[in-house]
A and B are shown apart, each in its own frame.
Chain A
């Protein structure tokens, strides 16, 4: 079973994402901000991370930079999942090391399609 860490400060979004991901046969863990996400990653290394941009304490972008800087052999797929839908944001995310980008709102088909593209579904 593949593992996915859902990082979002919205409890509702985390719940929806968990619901979809579990239906796609993922084992899901959650974090409410970037710092918590880094802790989760130290405990257990997920195959893929679904990452919000705007969060308190540590943003998705800062988390991603810290993550990519600290990686050893383990390189999880990172799928940004955010309401920041402009091309400039998308470009910045990809340059910082994101593998894919989901523009909110998303549905099951979108998420499944993006997970297939990064090769985890």
Chain B
């Protein structure tokens, strides 16, 4: 327990990243965003995504660090 006390608790802080989770059910589908996870590294993000978004038998799942997504425009923002 002693050593644990020195660990910063970092669930939603500097040392963690947010990842968007994408998945699809069938080959004819395209990937769509199904949610997001917050994790300290890619491996844990993979594990969290697999365990959290288990509502379907997805044939594909992909995670992307949110900061890697480049938004060109979005609803509610000024027109491009």
Q: Do A and B bind each other?
A: no
Chain B positions near chain A (C-beta within 8 angstroms)? none
